Each structure stands twice: as structure tokens, then as C-alpha cells.
Amino acid sequence: MFHRTASGRRLAYERLEGQGPGVVFLHGFKSDMGGTKAVDLEAWCRAQGRAMLRFDLSGHGSSEGRVEEFGVGDWLKDARDVIDALAPGRQVLVGSSLGGWLALLLARERPERWAGLVTIAAAPDFTARMQAEFTDADHEALVREGRITRPSEYGEDYVFSRRLFDQGAENSVFGQPLALPMPVRFLQGTADADVPIEDALRLLSHAEGPDIRLMLVKDADHRFSGPGELRMIREAVTELAG
């Protein structure tokens, strides 16, 4: 199914009717709502009779556009729009990688909306970390071409646009206080080559709230999609959804 946002973007989504609090899944960069974690979580929600919403951000999956045409601010608007239209009431936010960044921003701006927050290899401000490691050639490419590329272990090369970096700076998690009054579970693998453990520890230190836990999984990588990791995601959602 498709939802037309206030910005005019056409987003693909799947919605499961059921009891609340519902579950909202936010996928990662160059991923989509058909990923292993999202599909596994939907199967669990279906078995539990729990409502769930998953969708493709602009430029991803079956939604309109190309990834390089959008940035973090655009995807935040996507998420805000589709969740408000299709997931009424209190929800448990589940965000993976880039989706974790978006979930943190949503949780910060409207904390009363969320029954809980689960992030999986959350990657807040990853654009700032990338820029800190730029070579002179990277800076020149971004100015000259408006984009840089990086090889990916998951398929075709990643394309990172100037819009992504500009909007990343405008939507920093670490640049502002992060009050999270809802129960929060950060899940992170120790073998994650994309989001280092140091970033997860920094996030834990930066966030403020009464019930925030970081759960490290030895040897789990950025996919966080093995049977044990999927079980951990389900258990975290079960705990927060009640």
C-alpha cells in the first residue's frame, strides 16, 4: 500500500491491525521494510495480535525517488507524517541504524507519543563521523559532484550526497540534550564494523532518562539478524510493549 505525505512523497507501507501499544519499525540506510528484522518482528506482532507499521523511506524499497535525493531531515518528515497518519496512539519505536537515528529524533521531539524505544546498531550523527574522516579528495568530490561513494558489503556502492551531510548537521542527536523519559533499550553488536562500540557508549552516556539500558552482543555485526539477535529484539519489544 502507499501513503502520500504532506510533502507529496509516495511512501510504500505495510500495516498490521491489532492491539496497542503498536510497533513502528524504521529501517536503515539503503535497506527497506522487507529486511530480515522488520519481517521477523511483523511475524511476532501477528502472532501476538499486536498492531505494527513498517514503511520504506523516500528513495528506499518501493517508495519514490533515489536515496541520494534525500537527507535525514527529509526522512524525519517521512517518518513523522506516515506514523501520525497510520499509527495512532502510543507506539514502541524500533529503529535500525539510520532508523535508530530517526527514532531518537522522534523520541526527543515528542516523548509522550512513545511507549518505548528500541534501537538496533543506532547510527546517530554518522554523517559527522564520516566527515571527520574525509580525505582532501572526498571534500573536493562533495563540492564538485555533490556526492561521494563508498563500497558496501551489502550490494552496490553507497552514495552519500551533500544534502545528506547538510541535513545530518541540522538534525544532530549529540549536538543537543537527549531526554528519553520512556523505557529505552539500545542493542549493539561488538563486531559491528559500521557503528563502533564507542558510539554506542557515547549514546548511552549522552541520553538522559530513568530506564535506559545498552545491551552488547558479542560477535554480532551490523546486520544484527542472527536467530539470537532477532530473539533479543522481540524480547526488548515484549518488555516495553507490555
pLDDT digits (tens, 9 = 90+) for 52-82: 999 999 999 999 999 999 999 999 999 999 9
Is 61 contained in some domain? yes
Contacts of 237 (CB under 8 A, 6+ apart): 23, 41, 44, 92, 94, 116, 118
CATH of the domain at 81: 3.40.50.1820
Q: What percent of the chain has pLDDT over 90?
A: 95
Is 149 contained in some domain? no
Q: Which pLDDT belongs to residue 235?
A: 98
Local confidence band at 152 (pLDDT 50, 70, 90 cut-offs): confident
Radius of gyration of the chain (CA): 17
Q: What percent of the chain has pLDDT over 70?
A: 99
Is 146 contained in some domain? no
Of 86, 128, 127, 78, nearest to 103 by C-alpha is 78
How many domains, the chain? 1
Place of cell 497510520: 86
Is 117 contained in some domain? yes
Residues spanned by the domain of 106: 2-125+178-241
Segment 195-200 mean pLDDT: 96
Distance (Å, rounded) from C-alpha 88 to C-alpha 216? 32
Res. 36: pLDDT tops 80: yes
What's the mean pLDDT when you consider all of the chain? Answer: 96
Query: How many residues are given for the chain?
Result: 242
Local confidence band at 157 (pLDDT 50, 70, 90 cut-offs): confident
Q: Which pLDDT belongs to residue 242?
A: 81
* Catalytic choice (97, 125, 161, 199): 97
Is 237 contained in some domain? yes
Segment 170-198 mean pLDDT: 97
Res. 85: pLDDT tops 70: yes
* Catalytic choice (78, 125, 192, 194): 192
Q: Which pLDDT belongs to residue 163?
A: 96
Is 3 among the residues known to form the active site?
no
Res. 154: pLDDT tops 90: no
> What 3-state class would DSSP assign to 6?
coil
Q: Which pLDDT belongs to residue 176?
A: 96
Local confidence band at 155 (pLDDT 50, 70, 90 cut-offs): low
Phi/psi class of residue 121: alpha, beta or left (left: φ > 0; alpha: ψ in -120 to 50)? left
Q: Which pLDDT belongs to residue 156?
A: 76
Local confidence band at 158 (pLDDT 50, 70, 90 cut-offs): confident
- Burial class from Cβ neighbours inside 10 Å (0-12, 13-18, 19+) for residue 14 reads middle
Is 222 among the residues known to form the active site?
yes
Is 152 contained in some domain? no
Is 14 contained in some domain? yes
Is 199 among the residues known to form the active site?
no
Sign of CA dihedral 97, 102, 108, 111: negative
Strands 19-26 and 91-96 turn out to be parallel
pLDDT digits (tens, 9 = 90+) for 199-233: 999 999 999 999 999 999 999 999 999 999 999 99
Res. 120: pLDDT tops 80: yes
Is 81 contained in some domain? yes
Q: Which pLDDT belongs to residue 146?
A: 93
